[in-house]
Structure formats: structure tokens, C-alpha cells
Chains A and B, each alone.
Chain A
Amino acid sequence: MKKNLIIVLLGVGLIVYASTVIASRNTIYYYTTSETEDIEITTNERIKLGGFVVEGSISKDGGYTVFTITDGNKEIDILFDGFIPELFQENMGVILDGVLDNNIFFADDMLVKHDNEYVSSDGETYDVKSYSK
């Protein structure tokens, strides 16, 4: 019985350890646009970059989709070539995967990050005061 107990405790310990390692390794899943000024990126190193799509910045250029994202402080132009999720639109949060070069980010992978607001078609009962982020 002691043996079983030790196995069980070891197993639980391993799981807790593994989840802490996995979680802490992902403390920064993506960089914000301002943070790109502070980090050191080697040439052609792929990073993930997150921000909000600037209003009126989306356009098509050849096969590329060109737009600008911002975190409120710094804007970065995006040259995107890849699958565009349906929800992609102005003011939406996006996370892009690609290479940063001279303030232009060449990306080929996009995730749309939706916020925690849910507003239905008759959303007039919704009180916006409590939500300011």
C-alpha cells in the first residue's frame, strides 16, 4: 500500500509540476506592438504580435492584405498573406505570427481575439458603464 501511495503522490506531483512549467513558459504568448521596441529580435526570428486593427487601415495589395495594428501607443504596419478568419474586421484584436522587419510585420498566420462582451441584437439593456477596458 505504501508503494501505491508513493506512486500516486509522485504522479500528482509530476502533474502539478508539469502544469506550472507549461503555464509559466507561456506567460507571454504574444508581444504587444510597444513591446517590440524593448525586445531583441534576431533577423528572421518569428514572433507573435498582438494588437487592435486600426480603423480604415485595411486594404488589399496584390495577394496581400495590408493593415495596421496598435496597442494604443505604437502602430505597426502588417503585410499579411494567409487565411483570414471570418471575424477579422476593424477594431478587432488580432494575434499575428511572422517576422518583424523595419517596423513592417510580415505575417502568415492570424488569430482573432474576441473580448468578453456579448451584445445581442436588442442590446439596449446593456450597461456599458461597468465595462471600460
Chain B
Amino acid sequence: MMLYGPLAVWIAISFFGPYDVTQGVYSKLLYIHVPTVWIAYLGYTLTFLYSVFYFFTKKQKYDSLAIANAKSGVIFTVITLLAGSYWGKQTWGTWWVWGDARLNLTAILLLVYLGYIASRQFNKDLGKTARNSSFIGIFGVIQIPILHFSVIWWRSVHQQASILSQETVASGDAPMSTDILVTLLISVLLVTLVHIFLTKIFRRSNDILWDDYLNPKSRAKI
């Protein structure tokens, strides 16, 4: 219920929500593309913070929180790439633009965090694994500001930010109709709930790994 409730409402408002008159109905992909990438940013930022905490305190819960946020972030990055690609096909006229900085950097972002998840398998010793992975968790976050400002620094096919732009933040006026803006913000909230649910599940599965690692005997009994 925790998962399906927000998920169902999110899909419903994406389906029935208002859309941009110039771009047509496909601009409803905004409600999928934008919230997922924001929450992916959030997830990777939390991965960074918990990786730092883990590195300095060596408390297992921070490692579990770091990996949980990265896994959820990867899921949302995949969704944002798929939704963005389909949106691009409908408006720009192509699924993917190889020369575009923002598109390429998002693909690299996904690869780095897939690498982060893969790095958990490098070493059977969970203590060493967690320490090594925390480096990727710490350095991987560098990409987020580069990615966010890529549309400002470099000439791009991708449009500028509508909400997280200097003008919008400074003036408080988004270049968006109120109904579109409200629908977008609600979908951000719903995706946040989905993220919280997913991280809980991923955290629990990593906690079990830590349990096995720290108390090998208790597992043998079961």
C-alpha cells in the first residue's frame, strides 16, 4: 500500500494532468521525467552524505543507507532516461542526441552508480567492500552539479531548467501555468514517497548482509 498508493496516484495525474498547448499531450512526460531525475539527484546526494558518515564512523547503518539511496537513484535515473528519450522522440524528433552534454552526462551518471552497486560484489569481505564503495559514493556526487549546470554552461538541445533556474528562484515566478506547476510539485512529492519506500526495502536487505557478516553463527542456526 505504501508503494502502490503513491505510484497509482502519480501515474493517474501524469495521465490526466494538464499539458503544454504548444508541445501537446506528450509534455505530460514532464510529471515523470522531472520528479524522477530530482529524486535521483536527492538519492545520490544522500549516498554521498551517508558514504562520508560511513567512512568516518564505520557504522553499518550508514553503509546500508548509502547503498539503498543509490539503488533507488538508479531506478529513477533509468525512468528519467526512458521518459526523456520518449519525450525527445515526440518533440525534438529523435530518441537520443549523441552530441548533447546533458544527455551524455546523465547516461554516465547512471553508469557510475551501476558501478557503485557492482562494486559491492568486488570483495567478499563486507567491511572492505563498504569502505571501497564509499569512495565511489563520495566522488560520484561531483557529477550532479556538472549535470545540473550543463544546459547553462554549454549550448544544448535540452531546454533550460524551468524551476531550478536562477530566474525562477530569484523571482519566484516559474515559466509555467499554475496548474502544471502544482501537478508537477505533487508528482515530486509522490515520487519522494516511492523513494522512501524503496530505500526502506533496500536498506533492510543490506542490513541482513551486515547481520550475516557480523554474526556468522546466528545464520547457521536458522
Measured CB to CB, the residues of A under 8 A from B are: 1, 4-5, 8-9, 11-12, 15-16, 18-19, 22-23, 26-30, 48, 50, 83-87, 95, 110-123, 125-127, 129-131
Residue of A whose beta carbon sits closest to that of B140: A12
Q: Is the CB of A1 within 8 A of B91?
A: no
| Interface residues on chain B, number (Cβ under 8 Å) | 60
Q: Is the CB of A119 within 8 A of B173?
A: no
B121 interface hit (Cβ, 8 Å): no
Residue of A whose beta carbon sits closest to that of B88: A111
Residue of A whose beta carbon sits closest to that of B19: A120
Selected contact of B177 from candidates A1, A18, A125, CB within 8 Å: A125
Q: Which of B83-122 contact A (CB under 8 A)?
A: 90-94, 97, 99-101, 104-105, 108, 111-112, 115, 119, 122
Contacts known (A8-B132, A23-B101, A29-B156); A130 close to B173, Cβ less than 8 A: yes
Task: List, sorted by A's number, 8 A–B pairs whose CB atoms are closer than 8 Å.
Answer: A11-B115, A87-B23, A112-B91, A118-B176, A122-B18, A125-B178, A129-B173, A131-B167
Give B12 Cβ to nearest chain A Cβ, in Å.
17
Selected contact of A19 from candidates B100, B146, B176, CB within 8 Å: B146
Q: Is the CB of B91 within 8 A of A126?
A: no
Give A96 Cβ to nearest chain B Cβ, in Å.
11
Selected contact of B18 from candidates A83, A85, A115, A121, CB within 8 Å: A121
What B residues does A126 contact at CB under 8 A? 175-178
In the bound assembly, the distance between CA atoms of A110 and B92 in angstroms comes to: 8
Q: Is the CB of A5 within 8 A of B132?
A: yes
Tell me which of A8, A28, A127 has the highest count of chain B C-beta atoms within 10 A of its own C-beta: A8
Q: Is the CB of A29 within 8 A of B112?
A: no
Q: Is the CB of B155 within 8 A of A30?
A: yes
Q: With A15-B115, A126-B177 given, name 11 new contacts (CB 8 A).
A: A5-B132, A8-B135, A11-B136, A16-B139, A16-B143, A22-B104, A27-B155, A29-B99, A83-B93, A114-B22, A116-B159
